[in-house]
A and B are shown apart, each in its own frame.
Chain A
Amino acid sequence: MSKQEIKKRVAAAAAASSESGAHPVVPSSSVTTTLNELYSAINTTIADYTDSLTPRLKLIDSFLVFLVALGVLQFVYVLIVGNFPFNAFLAGFISCVGQFVLTVSLRLQINEKNKHKQSEKQTVDEDEEEETGKEETVFKFISPERAFGDYIFASLILHYIVIHFIN
């Protein structure tokens, strides 16, 4: 499953780069360097990502991919067939988006790293964090269990509304 994710990321990055390459504002000399840097950045990110992957995160990520795919599918369907029951489409689409952001939030909150560093640096106030990627202490008030509870709560409400909206 992680391979898929990587593939998708790469594809997205490639798409982004190709578009950016076509952009006229950026001077051509810097384009190549920019592209290179972009590639290396993406590669590092992916590497880092695969490093940090745990089975649980994997599960979450695959769910995310599924949601994105579902959303894209619906969008494509609308583009092709038309958006007749507009609210049904909206409900379906937004449920994907909503579930996606909720899951991302969950992922952010229960990320193992967050938890580890949280125990180390409990004294750090969230205001004092610098741009050094130390936002791990961000969710110091939220335990993974709590996060999962919240996630279920929010998802329940989301789908309740969706069901109400769809008909």
Chain B
Amino acid sequence: MGKSQLKVLGVPIETIRVLLRVIIFISIAGAAISSRLFSVIRFESIIHEFDPWFNFRATKYLVSHSFYEFLNWFDDRTWYPLGRVTGGTLYPGLMVTSGAIWHILRDWFSMPVDIRNICVMLAPAFSGLTAIATYFFTKEMKDSNAGLLAAIFMGIAPGYISRSVAGSYDNEAIAITLLMATFYFWIKAMKLGSVFYATWTALFYFYMVSAWGGYVFITNLIPLHVFVLILMGRYNKKLYTAYTTWYALGTLASMQIPFVGFLPIRSNDHMAALGVFGLLQLVGVGNYVKAQVPSRQFKSFLVVSLTLVFLLGIGGLFGLTAMGWIAPWTGRFYSLWDTSYAKIHIPIIASVSEHQPTAWPAFFFDTSMLIWLFPAGIYMCFQELRDEHVFVIIYGVLCSYFAGVMVRLMLTLTPIVCVSAAIALSKLFDVYLNIVDLFTTTEEEKGKKPKAFPAAALISRVVVLLSFAFYLFYFVLHCTWVTSNAYSSPSVVLATNNPDGSQHIIDDYREAYYWLRMNTPEDAKVMAWWDYGYQIGGMADRTTLVDNNTWNNTHIATVGKAMASPEEVSYKIFRQHDVDYVLIIFGGLLGYSGDDINKFLWMVRIAEGIWPDEIHERDYFTERGEYKVDKDASKAMKESLMYKLSYYRFAELYGGRDGADRVRNQQIPANDPPQLSTVEEVFTSENWIVRIYKVKDLDNVGRDLKQATAFEQPGASKKNRSIKKPKLDIRI
């Protein structure tokens, strides 16, 4: 394609190329952003799901307080009565980013945009940047054509969209951008041996550390890359310069984040980087020596020093770990290697759906055609195998494995899938699109001497090109479809269609949360399963016992125990923890499957982990081992607070007949309705999704609440409240 001297309309073609590239960039960014706006258009500008609500709340705190107050934020409205050292246990990158944007817009551009809108739009905006970062990254791998392809893939790949639709205000929203930027700068630094780029790598690494716990991936991937290169005998001074600069600056910088603290020198997750750093020093010296001395001498030098260093290193690592100076690998890390580890040891991690192993169709669902272009791209990398290709290969292999283990790591796989697919596809196009050149030359020559028309070649090429054009077209359709149908639901708001086709919004969550916010005392403590902690904090603005931070397993188990136990036991827990309200999610009426009864077994399991003698998972199954809520339900099940709260007065809705639970397709017996004595119903949302109960005070006559309730049941003597003595009746 060496047409750089050509001119079109007097403009050098290079200029046109640049212009075109810019236009393509803008349209890619536009496509990336607009495809993420389904939920805003369909619903509204709202924060989605669970974690984003915390981030949103933290951001609001940040913009209303100073930065230092934010870093020292102790939040007493969660994890009651423990509280949470929020400032020291979060990754502030996301909040600081949106806070900075908010300040800049307000103070410099006099655009006082609502912080909520900034939070909602942050992910789409950053997805545009991700596409650009991917372009540069891929450009380093192959050329700018592949880069543009990768950028558009990255822009619309559902695997990434799933975490970056408007309103999905989560760490991943900016983390993927930073991931790609860091890798780009790393590749650049490594290729050029430039301190400058290595410094930028470190700075972006720092940004990444501040934004997402997944930074450990970078911390391990770059050393691994360097290590593999050394093993391949590809050490050179550029590698030394790039890596040591990155490591020294990056490590120091990453320790600035309070949540990370001294982890980079204490935890095993980070030791590989340190090891490679040390190794590089040795290899550097070794290489210097090698350059000066004969190879035989050098060999012995090498053998001696390597053994020494290896033994020292391993010994030191073990020693320090044993002495407790270095933290062993974290649970999440283990669960990456052993998929059943979490189930056995950390039910909390396993209970999160996004920590489950990925199902096979998910790969095709999330990346469509890219997934089968991915191996081809990796193969292309093997063919060329420059230093940077090694990086792609390592990244690809590692992430394929990780993505298979955990659904959420699909996210980190997506960029490399896009990159290698783009490499493969652009290679293919390079070969097959040559037809254009071929064809034009034949046309010019036609007049002079008739030449055999390359029909067969042409047809085969056209077929290939057309089929790939079709695939690309289909890919765009697929992405749009997936985005629109699977990833654009805020999950706070549900939408159904009325019989006449119009949209009906099911807004039970906000209904109930807003009720809590408006009609309960400001310091009321709400107990709910941890999934809803952030939402209650964000929307209802009430104190919660547990939330999605899940830092204290015992506390969560306490809530699980309260839900799984009979009322009397739960009541003691309520009193101990000053609980005022209990909130549960019940989908039985509507057929909403993500409700608490379906999560109930996890509550039982987590509670059982702490109180093995009081809670037994087996008790909640029927004798035949089924999980039932109908008349066959086990005694423990029927007596559990969760069951009672869920089905309290539920069967009445069916007017004497058995109630139909549409999630579990079971009949709730009408003749044996659950009775509540320690809590009373105070609110149930329109579609019964959220039910809120108030914990009763101790009875003022000193009866226990069960007796008191029985006493006040209809049939017992009624209090006489009337004090009026009408003298004159004007009844009409």
A contacts, CB < 8 Å to B: 16, 19-20, 23, 25-26, 30, 33-34, 37-38, 40-42, 44-45, 48-49, 86-87, 90-91, 94-95, 97-98, 101-102, 104-106, 108-109, 126-127, 129, 131, 133, 135, 138-139, 141-142, 146-147, 149-151, 153-154, 157-158, 161-162, 164-165
Contact flag A142-B193 (CB < 8 Å), given A38-B300, A87-B255, A135-B236: yes
- Chain A residues in 8 Å Cβ range of B265: 90
Query: In the complex where A139-B238, A150-B195 touch, is A127 in contact with B301 (Cβ < 8 A)?
Result: no
Residues of chain A contacted by B195 (CB below 8 angstroms):
102, 105-106, 109, 147, 150-151, 153-154
B253: Cβ under 8 A from any A Cβ: yes
Contact A108 B249 (CB under 8 A): no
- Chain B residue nearest to A12 (CB atoms) is B285
B346 within 8 A of A: no
Encoded as 1 (CB less than 8 Å from any A CB) or 0, chain B from 237 to 279 comes to 1101100110111011101100000100100000000000000
Task: Report yes or no: A44 in contact with B238, Cβ–Cβ below 8 A.
Answer: no
In the complex, chain B residues whose CB is within 8 Å of the CB of A38: 297, 300-301, 304
* Given known contacts A40-B297, A133-B291, A150 and B194 CB-to-CB distance under 8 angstroms: yes
Given the known interface contacts A34-B304, A45-B292, the answer about A105 and B241 at a Cβ–Cβ threshold of 8 Å is yes
Distance between Cα atoms of A41 and B287 in the complex (Å): 12
Determine the chain A residues whose CB is within 8 A of the CB of B233 once the complex forms.
Answer: 131
Q: Does B288 contact A (CB under 8 A)?
A: yes
A98, B252: Cβ atoms closer than 8 Å = yes
A91 to B251 alpha-carbon distance, docked (Å): 11
A161/B240 in contact, CB under 8 A: no
* Docked complex Cα distance between A95 and B255 (Å): 13
Instruction: Answer whether residue B290 sits at the interface, using C-beta atoms and an 8 A cutoff.
Output: yes
Is B347 part of the binding interface, using a Cβ–Cβ cutoff of 8 Å? no
The answer to whether A97 touches B248, judged by C-beta atoms less than 8 angstroms apart, is: yes
Closest CB-CB distance, B182 to chain A, in whole Å?
15
Residues of A within 8 A of B297 (CB): 37-38, 40-41, 44
- CB-based A-B contact count at 8 angstroms: 142
What's the Cα separation between A19 and B253 when bound, in Å?
A: 35
A34:B249 contact, CB within 8 angstroms: no
Taking CB atoms, residues of chain A closer than 8 Å to B253 are: 161
Is there contact, CB below 8 Å, between A138 and B301? no
Contact of B236 among A30, A126, A157 (CB under 8 A): A126
Q: Which of B13-21, B196-204, B398-406 contacts A (4 or more CB under 8 A)?
A: B196-204
A140 CA / B255 CA spacing, docked (Å): 34
Within 8 A of A (CB), among B354-413: 386-387
* A and B contact pairs by CB, cutoff 8 A, 29 listed: A20-B305, A23-B308, A34-B300, A37-B300, A37-B301, A40-B293, A41-B301, A86-B262, A87-B262, A90-B265, A94-B248, A98-B248, A101-B248, A102-B195, A104-B244, A105-B193, A105-B241, A108-B237, A108-B240, A126-B191, A131-B233, A135-B237, A149-B196, A150-B196, A151-B195, A154-B198, A154-B199, A154-B245, A158-B249
- Closest chain B CB from A127 CB (angstroms): 6
What residues of A have a CB within 8 angstroms of the CB of B573 in the complex? none
**Residue B252 contacts which of A16, A146, A153, A165 (CB distance < 8 angstroms)?**
A165
Q: Whose C-beta in chain A lies nearest to the C-beta of B284? A: A104
Give chain A nearest CB distance to B387 CB in angstroms. Answer: 8
Contact between A90 and B288 (Cβ–Cβ < 8 Å)? Answer: no
B648 at the binding interface (Cβ < 8 Å): no
B298, CB-defined interface residue at 8 Å: yes
Instruction: Number of B interface residues at 8 Å Cβ cutoff, please give it.
Output: 47
- A165 pairs with B193, CB closer than 8 A: no
Bound CA span A141–B296, Å: 34
Give the complex CA separation of A154 and B305 in angstroms.
31
B contact residues around A16 at 8 Å (CB): 304-305, 308
Quick check: is B289 within 8 A (CB to CB) of the other chain? yes
Q: With A and B bound together, what is the CA distance between A98 and B248 in angstroms?
A: 5
Q: Which 7 A-B pairs have the closest CB atoms?
A: A98-B248, A101-B244, A133-B291, A150-B195, A105-B241, A150-B196, A37-B297
Shortest distance in angstroms between A79's beta carbon and chain B's nearest beta carbon?
14
In the bound complex, residues from chain B placing their C-beta under 8 Å from that of A86 are 262
Enumerate chain B residues within 8 angstroms of A33, measured Cβ to Cβ.
300
A contact residues around B293 at 8 Å (CB):
40-41, 44-45
B307 to chain A, nearest CB (A): 7
A165 contacts B255, C-beta separation under 8 Å? yes
The CA-CA distance from A38 to B290 in the complex, in Å, is 12
Whether A153 lies near B301 (C-beta < 8 A) is: no
Q: Considering the chains assembled together, what is the distance between the CA atoms of A101 and B245 in angstroms?
A: 6
Q: Is B221 an interface residue (CB 8 A)?
A: no
Question: Considering only CB atoms, which chain B residue lies closest to A86 in the complex?
Answer: B262
Which residues of B lie under 8 Å from residue A34 when comparing CB positions?
A: 300, 303-304
Contacts of A98 in B (CB 8 A): 248-249, 252
Contact of B249 among A41, A139, A161 (CB under 8 A): A161
Q: What separation, in Å, do the CA atoms of A44 and B225 have in the docked complex?
A: 32
In whole Å, how far is B382's beta carbon from the nearest beta carbon of chain A? 15
Q: CB-CB < 8 A to B256: which residues of A?
A: 161, 164-165
Instruction: Tell whether B676 is near chain A: CB-to-CB under 8 Å.
Output: no
Chain A min CB distance to B589 (Å): 55
Sample of 13 further A-B pairs with CB below 8 A, known A16-B304, A106-B195:
A23-B304, A33-B300, A44-B292, A45-B293, A87-B262, A98-B249, A108-B240, A138-B236, A138-B237, A141-B194, A151-B195, A154-B245, A157-B199
A128 to B300, CA, bound (A): 27
B284 / chain A contacts, CB cutoff of 8 Å: 104
B101 in contact (CB, < 8 A): no
Contact B296 A154 (CB under 8 A): no
Question: Are B308 and A158 neighbours in the complex by a CB distance under 8 Å?
Answer: no
- Separation in Å of the B96 CB from the closest CB of chain A? 15
Binary per-residue interface labels of chain B (174-194) against chain A in the complex, 1 for a CB within 8 Å, 0 otherwise: 000000000000000001111
- Residue among A42, A127, A142 making CB contact with B194, cutoff 8 Å: A142
* Chain A residue nearest in CB terms to B296: A37
Please report the C-alpha to C-alpha distance between residue A16 and residue B306 in the assembled complex, in whole angstroms: 11
Cβ A90 vs Cβ B300 within 8 A: no
A165 to B304, CA, bound (A): 38
| A164 to B192 CA separation, bound complex (whole angstroms) | 30
Judge whether A142 and B192 touch: CB under 8 Å. Answer: yes
* Closest A residue by C-beta to B244: A101
Interface residues of B in 304-344 (CB under 8 A from A): 304-305, 307-308
> Once the chains bind, are A91 and B236 in contact (CB under 8 Å)?
no
Q: Which of A97, A101, A139, A149 contacts B193 (CB 8 A)?
A: A139
Verify B308–A20 contact, CB threshold 8 A: yes
Tell me the smallest distance from the CB of B212 to a CB of chain A, in Å: 20
| CB-based nearest A residue for B290 | A133
Assembly CA distance A162 to B253 (angstroms): 8
Q: Complex: how many Å from CA A145 to CA B345?
A: 56
- Residues of B with C-beta under 8 A to A150: 194-196, 199
Question: Do B307 and A90 touch across chains, with their CB atoms under 8 A apart?
Answer: no
Query: Judging by beta carbons under 8 Å apart, are A26 and B304 in contact?
Result: yes
Closest CB in chain B relative to A121 CB, distance in Å: 14
The interface residues of chain B lying within 8 Å CB-to-CB of A91 are 252
CA distance A55 to B251 in the complex (A): 33
Q: With the chains together, A98 CA to B196 CA distance in Å?
A: 14
Residues of B within 8 A of A48 (CB): 292
- Shortest CB-to-CB span from A97 to chain B, Å, is 6
B237 A139 Cβ-Cβ under 8 A:
yes
